[in-house]
Amino acid sequence: MPETQSATELTPPLTSLSEEEVMLRDAVRQFAQQEIAPRVREMDEAQKLDPEILRQLFALGLMAIEAPPELGGAGASFFSALLTVEEIARVDPAVAVIVDVQNTLAVNALLRWGNSDQKQKWLPCLAENTVCAYALSEAGSGSDAFSLTTQARPQGDSFILSGRKLWISNALEADLFLVFATVNPEAGYRGITAFLVERGTPGFAVGHKEDKMGIRASSTCELLFDDCRVPRENVLGEIGKGYKIAIETLNEGRIGIAAQMLGLAEGAWSLALRYSKERKQFGKAIAEFQAVQFALAEMATQIEAARMLVYNAARMKLAGVPFVKEAAMAKVFASSVAEEVASKAVEIHGGYGFVKDYPVEKFYRDAKIGAIYEGTSNMQLATIGKLILA
């Protein structure tokens, strides 16, 4: 292992990152270790994000990374957003969720489809103090996302929204919601339209909060719309073109989830390596046993392979070349690696890996969601299969 590489970290070759990206990565890593790490267990048990962490995420400019500086953002790249998600997920994947959704879905959608007034109104807010949630899923509309039933009836200069959304990440913290509803159920996916809905709008409420197995500090709630009046000016993009916004944002969001799973795997691996050097059995550290060395080597190899897929998909997106297949590959593989690495990390810890006194069990619980949200692994495989046969 090179002398410049910590024995408890897997760090990509510096040549793969620009100087600015290295500086960002190191700054976020320091923040995560110093500010997030001491709060991880408490937030997980309370099932609530510490407001101070959220405040610092905004203060550090991590909540609107791609937004231009004149609108309050950092003016950085999509790749910088992924590095941020990865580094935070090394410490707490739950905190990484709020950064990921905010940047790869909400800010991304406003940058690409918002009109000038919407960008001027909302991007500074998203950079400074406003969380935005992405509301697509429903009880009967998961992988079959466009079978949604939430309706938006035109009425004068407004739309009246009625329906229910489920599994909405960051709903507890959000003050703005990107909501997908249909203006014409008979038109199928061509009736779907995207709306910007503010918390406090009459007829809109955040409902039940889910009690989850993992990423417990990340809120997941239902949204209720009961004749909720949304002004026509809050339509994002074109009426009936919401499906396009959903598809394209989720294509990019998949790389964000892959980055989250990559960071999770790195965090679990680092804990396993550190513990293997500290734990002694039969008179020596368990890291000296070949079986443990082989397990750590396989984990490290899987992580590096996942990193290459994630980084390649991100670079392809930035280069403006087709990347949907590569994004799906990155997500399905990184999710699988996160589960396997977290599981092996628990095993290396032995009995200690099964108790909450050691943080590795939380990585194991957090890993499962990677194969489920923003497109299940089966949906990713279907996308890959379709594209390689095209």
Q: What residues act catalytically?
A: 374
In the chain the beta strands, taken as DSSP E runs, fall at: 132-135, 151-155, 158-169, 176-182, 192-198, 204-209, 220-231, 235-236, 280-281, 284-285
Q: Which of 219, 304, 207, 306 is nearest to 260 (CA)?
A: 306
d(CA 166, CA 175): 17
Burial class (CB in 10 A: 0-12, 13-18, 19+), 4: exposed
Q: Taking a C-beta distance cutoff of 8 angstroms, is the pair 252, 108 a contact?
A: yes
CA 118/CA 110 separation, integer angstroms:
8
What are the structure tokens assigned to 316, written together?
């392809």
Rounded distance between C-alpha atoms, residue 63 and residue 140, angstroms: 31
Tokens representing 287 are 């890291």
d(CA 158, CA 231): 4
Distance in angstroms (rounded) separating the CA atoms of residues 106 and 231? 19
How many CB atoms are located within 10 Å of the residue 233 CB? Answer: 12
> Among 188, 327, 186, 177, which residue's Cα sits nearest to residue 248?
327
For residue 175, count CB atoms less than 10 angstroms from its CB and return exposed for 0-12, middle for 13-18, buried for 19 or more: middle
CB–CB of 54/98 below 8 Å? yes
Instruction: Please give the structure tokens belonging to residue 12.
Output: 């990509």
- Which three-class secondary structure string do you get for 297-323? HHHHHHHHHHHHHHHHHHHHHHHCCCC
Q: How far apart are CA 87 and CA 66, in angstroms?
A: 17
155 phi and psi angles, rounded to 5 deg: -150, 100
